[in-house]
Amino acid sequence: MARPLLPTRPPAESADPDDLLHLARTSFTDALARLRESESVATLRDALPMLWQQITDPSSSLRTPVGEADVTTFSKRRLRDALDQIGSAFTLERARYYLDRLARAVQETRTGRINDIDLNRWKEYDDILTDSLWLFDRRDASGAHHAGFWGNFVPQIPYQLMRRYTRRGDLVIDPFAGSGTTLIEGRRLGRHTIGVELNPAVVEQTRATLMHEPDRHGVVCALDVGDSTTLDWTALLEQYGHRSAQLAILHPPYHDIIRFSDDPRDLANAPSVETFLAMLGDVVARVAPVLDGGRYLALVLGDKYADGEWIPLGFLGMQETLRHGFTLKSIVVKNFEQTAGKRSQKELWRYRALVGGFYVFKHEYIFLFRKA
Ligand SMILES: C[S@@+](CC[C@H](N)C(=O)[O-])C[C@H]1O[C@@H](n2cnc3c(N)ncnc32)[C@H](O)[C@@H]1O
């Protein structure tokens, strides 16, 4: 079936060094200013191939080694697109408008408060999703990521959330850390992470996994055994030299659809949906005070089926979270990877669906909340 599938490891993170151009900021700005002085759109257009030649010639004065103070880095493809847009303008005024936009992207960085996205160069962030439907064809298995933990989420989820809702050096907390997907991604992206996980055996295994992810940015990447329904996050953060967090990612069990342990404090062992929601509420209530105002909490949750009835666990969890001082900002629907067990029973599920008058789960939700 033909459908748009998102890249497993987005381009920014696997940036091809051959696609990157390191340009001398001042010289390039001057070149754009000269172009702006063209007398007509035709002369301006005629000058573009020469500029492109200079840009792509490694020995030209427009090029500079990476690491120089006066450097601006572009994707060759993106810069080509920007120049093509200038060249396709019908009027000098329009061409100058595009030129000014490019000059601004070269000269200044414009970021918001909660991420490092340079809004003057927003077109370059092809890897960052802004639509509410996320379709991933396979999980990112690079570095320390592995699919061996039943019930983990794909690394693309914390990747997207951290790029969108945190800056480098921010702290991300995960009260249901499991196999450490959030922690691995944070270490990679230069975000501090503190995770809590109830199951000591899982913590031990995850700590070993984390050793395989190189610490290039020198960030905290801590995992503690604990019960997130009663946890004192202020004390835990203090242990690692932090006072507050800038993003919380919550990926609880989807009630009892996977058994993680025998521990009664495990949300998967809640005796009813009502108790599950109350426990989830306890976790949110513990997390909320350490999250900075204006920052985000992401809840990743799917629905379940019981006694012939679709239980909208996702929306029930959303309602529960809203009781703790958050505003709902988005509901993302993400395609659901079938677990190994279910895959072998795919045909059986299809048959059951046809007989039972229901649809087989193929999606889960990512609810985005902003703290007031
Ligand atoms: C859906 S998994 C999270 C998977 C994780 N996102 C990953 O990618 O590996 C839920 C985890 O929450 C843990 N858990 C359940 N109840 C908990 C509690 N009260 N406190 C802390 N962790 C808990 C489970 O042991 C399980 O590892």
User: Tens digit of pLDDT for each residue in 44-59?
Assistant: 999 999 999 999 999 9
Domain boundaries of the chain, sorted by first residue: 17-124, 139-371
Q: Are 173 and 232 in contact (CB under 8 A)?
A: no
Question: Measured in angstroms, how far is the CA atom of residue 355 from the centroid of ligand 1?
Answer: 34
Lowest mean pLDDT among 18-22, 60-64, 200-204, 278-282: 18-22
pLDDT at 151 over 80: yes
Ligand 1: residue whose CA is nearest its atom 12: 176
CB atoms within 10 A of CB 289: 13
Kindly report the average pLDDT of the chain as a whole number.
Answer: 91
pLDDT at residue 28, rounded to an integer: 96
Calculate mean pLDDT across residues 285-299.
98
Calculate mean pLDDT across residues 280-295.
98
CB atoms within 10 A of CB 176: 23
Identify the band that residue 342 occupies on the pLDDT scale cut at 50, 70 and 90. low
DSSP output for 79-135? HHHHHHHHHT-SSHHHHHHHHHHHHHHHH-----SS----GGGGGG-TTS--SSEE-
Pocket test for ligand 1, best of 174, 236, 266, 279 (most atoms within 8 A of CB): 266
Paired tokens of 120: 């003057």
Q: Give the number of the atom of ligand 1 that is nearest the alpha carbon of residue 263.
A: 16
CB of 149 closer than 6 angstroms to any ligand 1 atom: yes
Q: Give the number of the atom of ligand 1 that is nearest the alpha carbon of residue 267.
A: 16
The bridge status of strand 363-371 relative to strand 192-197 is unpaired
- For the domain with range 139-371, which CATH number is right: 3.30.43.10, 2.40.440.10, 3.30.70.141, 3.40.50.150? 3.40.50.150
CB of 265 closer than 6 angstroms to any ligand 1 atom: yes
Calculate mean pLDDT across residues 38-42.
96
Q: Give the whole-number percent of the chain exceeding pLDDT 90.
A: 78
pLDDT at residue 11, rounded to an integer: 36
pLDDT at residue 176, rounded to an integer: 98
The residue type at 200: P
Pocket test for ligand 1, best of 176, 181, 339 (most atoms within 8 A of CB): 176
